[in-house]
Amino acid sequence: MSEQRQPVLTGGCQCGAIRYAFYAQPDRVGICHCRMCQKAVGGPFKPWANVRLANFAWTRGTPGRFRSSSAAERGFCPRCGTPLYFAYVKRPDSISITVGSLDTPGVPQLTQVDGIESRLANFDPTVLASLPARPTSEGSPPEDLSHMVNFQHPDHDTPPDWRPPEG
């Protein structure tokens, strides 16, 4: 199985077992505050980028899937649990990929906001802007992070035999 097209966006799960590629820019990008998306990603909202399946491919591994309702299924890495996609059953020609799983999550420009009936006031941007804020390097983890071994897949494609470093 050889893929001749050049990806415009790539991404995958935290452990690297699942990788994917976009061969066109997303049609729409947004965040969904609905309760099902909150639960599915374990966060206050789910950032998503929708693309036609014709312009998308799983390039390593096969996601696990959970039918979260009669209308949709959600995919995740069966090894590390990273939430990867949302897809409507009756819209089989497109898929919405979680923006945080992209190698370049800062690139797609958002075009819409959904699920506002469930928007959480405690995560309002004005609340966040009022809080004490610091970079990771100024946190107080129980381990010296300068000597931490990173098992996360890097933010770029790797050879099929890529493995995380030994811990």
Contact residues toward Zn ion (CB under 5 A) are 13, 15, 17, 32, 34, 37, 77, 79-80, 115
Q: Which residue has the tokens 């998308």?
A: 56
55 or 82: CB nearest Zn ion = 82
5 or 41: CB nearest Zn ion = 41
Quote the longest CA-to-CA distance of the chain.
Answer: 51
End-to-end Cα separation, the chain, in angstroms: 33
CB of 42 to Zn ion, least distance (A): 13
CB of 22 to Zn ion, least distance (A): 19
Instruction: Report how far residue 58's alpha carbon sits from residue 160's, in angstroms, rounded to the nearest whole number.
Output: 13
57 or 80: CB nearest Zn ion = 80
CB of 153 to Zn ion, least distance (A): 8
CB of 61 to Zn ion, least distance (A): 8
34 or 107: CB nearest Zn ion = 34
Instruction: Report how far residue 44's alpha carbon sits from residue 125's, in angstroms, rounded to the nearest whole number.
Output: 12
Instruction: Report how far residue 156's alpha carbon sits from residue 52's, in angstroms, rounded to the nearest whole number.
Output: 22
